Each structure stands twice: as C-alpha cells, then as structure tokens.
Structure 1
Amino acid sequence: MLINCAAYREGHKVADLAPEELGAYLDQPDTFVWVALRDSDAAELESYRRLFNLHSLAVEDASHGHQRPKVEEYGDDLFVVMHLIDWAHAGPRLGRALAAPRGVQALLGSGPADGLSGELQLGEVMVFVGRNYVLSVRKGSKLHFLGVRERCEREPELLRQGPSFVLYALMDAVVDRYFPIVDLLESELEEIEQSIFTSGAARDNIQRLYALKRRLMLLRRAVAPMLEMLSKLHGGRTPPICARSEDYFRDVADHLARIHGAIESVRETIGTAIQANLSMVAIEDSDVTKRLAAWAGIFAAATAFAGIWGMNFEGMPELKWQWGYPAALGLITTVCVGLWYRFKRAGWL
C-alpha cells in the first residue's frame, strides 16, 4: 500500500507523484524521490525493484519480513532494516501518553504509573537507499513516519544532503520512539520494587518481574543489533552515500547507546529484584515454619500431660483427689500459655 510519494530537488519538495511518474524524476540532476509503503506484497515490491534496480536478495528480505536489524551494501546502494516497538492494546491513559508530545513524562510525573496494560508489539521498517531514491517499507506496525517527512521538509538546508539525510531522519525517529518505552519499563520496575517487601505480594511480584523481563528482552533484541549496525555508518569506512551525514548517524548512535545502557541497567536490577523477591519468599516460608513449630510445641506439651494422666493405672497421682481433674486442666493450660508467651517474645508467633 502506497503511503506517500514525492520528489525533492536541492532540499525542496518539487511535487507529489503517482508511482508511474517516478521514472521522469530519477535522471534529473540534484533530485531524488522518496516513496513510503506499508505492508507491501511481493508483487508491489517487484515493480519498485525494476524501477530502482534494487537487488533481488534485499527485495526478498523486504517481502518476507522478520529480519534482524542490519545494514547491507549492494554496490552503491544500501538496504537497512530496523525494528519498530509499539505498545499494543494499551489502556486509554497509556495510549494518550504515548501519542502526545512528552506524554510519557507527564504520565510518570503524575504519580504511580498504574494501568500500564498491554504488551510490546514488534514491527519492522525496511529502507532502500540509493543515489536518487529512498524507498521505505513498513510492516506489522501502526507507527507512521509522517512527522519525519514534515521535519525534513522544514529543514531544506539539511535535506540537500539527499537520501542519506532521509535515512538519518528515519533512524532518529525509530530510536526516539524507544525512549518512552524504556521510561515506562523503568517506572514499572520501580513500582514492583516498592511492593517487594509487602507481605503476601511475592507471587504477583514474580509474575510482573518476568513479564517485565520479557518486554525488556524484546526491546533489547531491537536495540543491540541496531547499535552494531550504526557503527558501519560513521567512523572508519562508511558507505559513500552516507559520507555527508556521518555526524548525524553518530548522534543517533549516541542516543541508542544511552538506551542500551538503560536497558542493561534495568536488566541487572530485574535480576536483583528477582533474587530479593525469592529471599522474601524464603523468609515468609521460614516464618510459617516457625509458627507451625511453635503451635506444635504447645500442643505437644498438652498432649504429654494428657497422655500421662490418661493412663489407666490405679496408682495414678491425684486419681482419688476431688480437685485432681480441674488441677490437671489448670496445669496444662498454664504450661501452654507459658509456652505461647515465650514463643511470642521470640517472634515465632
């Protein structure tokens, strides 16, 4: 499905185009075309393969999807794959926060981030970049890049760098969308940490911790390969098409390194929280064992007295005494109360 298609010359938009008009602009000097597709099938991509002379292996990867984040060179052209992370089935409060500028910061600043329901959903954006074209293909995600196109058009002096700046802008948008997800995961971890030492919350905490770990690993699988991928676009030998935009790719790599550091920090804290939660479970089990042992000791004393006085012998003490039965009950009660008091002071009850 075609989302947008336009031609740009010297940093300024020339015209919105229909697909059949693209060929007329490809050979014009200082001009490139930018095409955005969504959930395209093999037949649609085949038409653009012939138009832009795309490599068949890259087109095959884009058709099938489910690729690892990567950058591949095919002659002077690039094929870039990035993962899009979206919060699927988010509650109304979270959905508004993710959609609004600085909405996540406002959400986290308003108190506990309760109601963060939903799961992370993985999508992809694959970008073909050549001397005179940019073709982006988005799959499996509702996130759009209309704001990226508007940003580029507002900065014609930077857009003059050509397709490499468009690639940078797309990468920057993808990376910036990771930040609110990391903020939400950190906030959720802080909530769980506050409830770790709450009695009776161990089972709920361990379920939340493992759910959080699963979300974090999904984000990590998107970030870590992309960090490696960006190292090919700045410093050392870079693809010729990216030579004019090295500084911008370095800036994206810096942002991504911050996200990766935050992910590793949250990952280590989750491991510590799991250990602390398991320790709390062991402590609670120990408390239960102490209580059971204390009550068993109290009833053992009562059972011992009852067992002695319950033996059927003529020579039993106080057997013929009028107050023998009440005295025996009183002694049993006194011993049991004494044991209860001692266990209570020891913290077993």
Structure 2
Amino acid sequence: MLINCVVYEGGEKLADIPVAGIGEHLQHTGRFVWVALQDATAAELAELQGAFGLHPLAVEDAQHGHQRPKVEEYDDSLFAVMHLLEIDGLDDGATGVGEIDAFVGRNYVVTVRNRSRHGFVEVRERCEREPELLRHGPGFVLYALMDAVVDRYFPVIDALEDELETIELQIFTKGAARESIRSLYGLKRRLTVLKHAVAPLLEGAGKLYGGRVPQICVGAQEYFRDVIDHLGRINASIDAMRDTIGTAISVNLSMVTIEDGEVTKRLAAWAAIFAVSTSLAGIWGMNFEQMPELHWRFGYYAALGLIAGLCGFLYYRFRRAGWI
C-alpha cells in the first residue's frame, strides 16, 4: 500500500506526486523523491524498481522480508534493513518483530514497512522542519529513519530492565524459584530478539561512518556517528542484562536445590521418628512365649511411654537442628 510519494528540492517539499510522475522529477538536479510503502505487493515493488532502477537482489530481499538487519551497497545506491520491535498491545509480554527496508539512491528514497502498526510520520515531519539538514538529500533521510528506529529500541530495553528488576525482587521469595526461572527464560528469549536487531545494525551502520563512506552519506557522517553511539549503548545494556540473567538463573537453581534439600530433611526427620516407634512396636509384636515383658502388668503402658518419649526426644532434637 502506498503511504505517500513526495518530491523535495533544496530541503523544501515541492509537492505530493503520483508514482507515474516520478520520472520527470528525477531528471532535475537537486531534487529527490521519497516514497513510503506499507506491506508492499510484488507489483508495487516492480513498478518502483522500474522507476528508480532498484537492484533486483535488494528488491528480492524486500519481497521476501524476514531479513537480517544490514546495510548493503549496490553501485551508487544503498539498501538497509532494520527491525521494528513492538511490545505494547501484545499478550504475555511478547515482542513483535516488524521490518523496514530502505532503498536509498542519489535522488530517491524508498521505504517499505512490513508487519508493523507504527508508521514514521514523525520522521517526515522532522525532516521537513529542518530544511538546512534535508539539503543533504537522501543520506540525511536514511539517518533520520535509522535514528527513529533506534530510538524505539530504548522503551523496549527499559521495559525489559523493569521486568528483570521485578524478577530479582522475588528471587528469594519462598516457593517462587521455579516461577522466577520460567520468567527469566522468557525474558532472555525477548532480550535475544532485541540483540538480533541491534548487533547486526551496529555492524552495518559502521559502514556509513569512518573509512570509505558511500557518496550518498557524505555530509551526514556525524549524524550516523550519533546513531552508532546509541546502538553501542543499547548493545552494552543488552550484554549486561544477559550476564545478570545468567547469574539470576544460577541463583534460582540454587534456591530450588536448597528448597528441595529442606523438604528432604523434613522427610528424613519424620522418617527417623516413625522408624523408632515402628521398630519398638515390631519388637514387642513378635509374641514369643518367653518374652519377659509379655506378661508384665504395666508392660503395655511402659512400651507406649518409651515410644512416646523417644519420639518426643527426636522431635525436639530435629526441631532445634532446623530439620522440622
């Protein structure tokens, strides 16, 4: 679905145009066309491929979707893939993964957004509010898109950090160890999704700052450095959280072992108490004719007293030892 198709010149918006009118504007020096699509069809991509001369391999990646975040250079154009992460409105704290593909050339920008409910209207508004920066052309638009995508990662990692803090608070709550482990593994899985979005993009964005920078991005290197800085901070936070989760899982497993040991001790203590009464009852229950206590007038009461006394003594000792 076509969201909009706009032509810019000298950092200023000229007009909204139909896709069929793109060709006449591409012939003017200093102009560039910005086309935004959502869940584009093969026919729409083929039409834009013909209009802008998009590389067929990049178009194939955009059609298939589910690509790894990357920045690839094709002759005088760039193709960037970025993941869009969403956690609001999803059940069980899941993380939805969308994708935005950006084709960037000397005089065009084509963005294709897939599997995401949140658009990038604010990016276009930001660019149009800063004409002195928009004069840098498609390179600045790519930066603005990448910056907006990275900024959306911060609420995700903040939510994951809050969840981790909540789990840490209940680690030592009695009986909550198994539930904590389940929550930690779910958190680790969502953190891995974020890691898969950030780490490859950090590597790809490095191509746009330092060394041989693509001609399209010349003049915007400092802005890409800011994006790389943000990605580096997020990546460091992810690594720190993963270490914390690993430690928390180890602590939880230890807590489960300790709780199981407590149950084992209680069972062993009661088994010892009942073993004494069972042993004495078994001895006097053999009914041999020559048993001296068998015909004693107070034998029954003495046996019960001895059993109760020994069981009470054992209970007292296990209680003091903390086994019961």
The two structures have a TM-score, normalised by structure 2, of 0.97
C-alpha distance in 1 between matches for 2:133 and 2:175: 58
Mapped pair 1:131 → 2:73: no
Partner of 1:289: 264
Percentage of matched positions with identical amino acids: 63
C-alpha distance in 1 between matches for 2:293 and 2:274: 23
Partner of 2:52: 52
- Is the contact between residue 32 and residue 133 of structure 1 (CA under 8 Å) also seen in structure 2? yes
C-alpha distance in 1 between matches for 2:313 and 2:197: 64
- Is the contact between residue 94 and residue 190 of structure 2 (CA under 8 Å) also seen in structure 1? yes
- Is the contact between residue 13 and residue 153 of structure 1 (CA under 8 Å) also seen in structure 2? yes
Partner of 1:254: 229
Shift >4 Å, 4+ stretches: none
Which one-letter code corresponds to 1:65 in the other structure? G
Q: Residues 124-203 of structure 1: matches in 2 within 5 Å?
A: 124-203=99-178
Q: Residues 202-217 of structure 1: matches in 2 within 5 Å?
A: 202-217=177-192
C-alpha distance in 2 between matches for 1:29 and 1:337: 99
Mapped pair 1:243 → 2:218: yes
Deviations 1:101-130 (A, max 9, x none): xxxxxxxxxxxxxxxx33111111000111
Mapped pair 1:220 → 2:195: yes
Partner of 1:76: 76
The worse-fitting range, judged by mean Cα deviation, of 316-325 and 56-65 is: 316-325
Mapped pair 1:28 → 2:3: no
Structure 2 unaligned blocks of 5 or more: none
Which one-letter code corresponds to 1:179 in the other structure? F
- Is the contact between residue 89 and residue 119 of structure 1 (CA under 8 Å) also seen in structure 2? no
- Is the contact between residue 90 and residue 96 of structure 2 (CA under 8 Å) also seen in structure 1? no
RMSD (Å), alpha carbons: 1.2
C-alpha distance in 2 between matches for 1:267 and 1:246: 31
C-alpha distance in 2 between matches for 1:197 and 1:118: 23
- Is the contact between residue 69 and residue 80 of structure 2 (CA under 8 Å) also seen in structure 1? yes
- Is the contact between residue 36 and residue 112 of structure 2 (CA under 8 Å) also seen in structure 1? yes
Give SS of 1:127's match: strand
Give SS of 1:22's match: helix
The worse-fitting range, judged by mean Cα deviation, of 246-255 and 303-312 is: 303-312
Which one-letter code corresponds to 1:294 in the other structure? A
C-alpha distance in 1 between matches for 2:78 and 2:153: 23
Deviation at 1:88, TM superposition (A): 5.8
C-alpha distance in 2 between matches for 1:267 and 1:29: 50
C-alpha distance in 2 between matches for 1:45 and 1:317: 104
C-alpha distance in 1 between matches for 2:19 and 2:76: 23
Structure 1 unaligned blocks of 5 or more: 92-116
C-alpha distance in 2 between matches for 1:295 and 1:131: 82
C-alpha distance in 2 between matches for 1:74 and 1:49: 14
Which one-letter code corresponds to 1:259 in the other structure? I
- Is the contact between residue 11 and residue 133 of structure 2 (CA under 8 Å) also seen in structure 1? yes
Partner of 1:61: 61
Which one-letter code corresponds to 2:309 in the other structure? T
Deviation at 1:319, TM superposition (A): 2.5
Which one-letter code corresponds to 2:87 in the other structure? W
Mapped pair 1:300 → 2:275: yes
Partner of 1:312: 287
Deviation at 1:210, TM superposition (A): 1.1
Deviations 1:9-50 (A, max 9, x none): 111111111212222211222211111001111111011111
- Is the contact between residue 5 and residue 18 of structure 2 (CA under 8 Å) also seen in structure 1? yes
C-alpha distance in 2 between matches for 1:298 and 1:27: 96
Which one-letter code corresponds to 1:52 in the other structure? F
Which one-letter code corresponds to 1:169 in the other structure? A
Deviations 1:273-311 (A, max 9, x none): 111111011001111110111011001111121122212
The worse-fitting range, judged by mean Cα deviation, of 15-24 and 273-282 is: 15-24
C-alpha distance in 1 between matches for 2:274 and 2:113: 71
